């Protein structure tokens, strides 16, 4: 979701919570949760940093790498639009 970087830290954090807990009709998806917590953390959210670490404890190295790749893709897409 390319608009992810334009969201506030709180909005990114809330999306991470939704994906990590399956709230708001979202399926539990730890890769998505990690991605959103990572974006929240990049925006300065200490809660995002803490939850990213907590979710990562339940993930494989491959899943974490995929979540990081997706977060980088969101950032790259936003930078391309800004250029």
Q: What is the pLDDT of residue 78?
A: 78
Q: Please give the sequence-ordered ranges of beta strands (E in DSSP) within 1-83, or none if there are none.
A: none
pLDDT of residue 63: 99
Domains of the chain by residue range: 2-82
Over its C-alpha atoms, the chain yields an Rg (Å, rounded) of 12
| Token output for 41 | 């953390």
Q: Choose among 36, 20, 46: nearest CA to 71.
A: 36
Supply the DSSP symbol for 7. Answer: S
Kindly report, residue by residue over 8-40, the tens digit of the pLDDT. Answer: 999 999 999 999 999 988 999 999 999 999 999
């Amino acid at each position: 979701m390319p608009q992810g970087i334009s969201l506030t830290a709180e909005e990114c954090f809330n999306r991470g919570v939704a994906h990590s807990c399956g709230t708001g009709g979202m399926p539990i998806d730890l890769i998505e949760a990690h991605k959103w917590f990572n974006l929240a953390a990049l925006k300065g959210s200490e809660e995002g940093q803490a939850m990213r670490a907590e979710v990562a404890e339940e993930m494989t190295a491959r899943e974490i790498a995929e979540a990081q790749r997706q977060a980088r893709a969101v950032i790259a897409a936003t930078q391309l639009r800004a250029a």
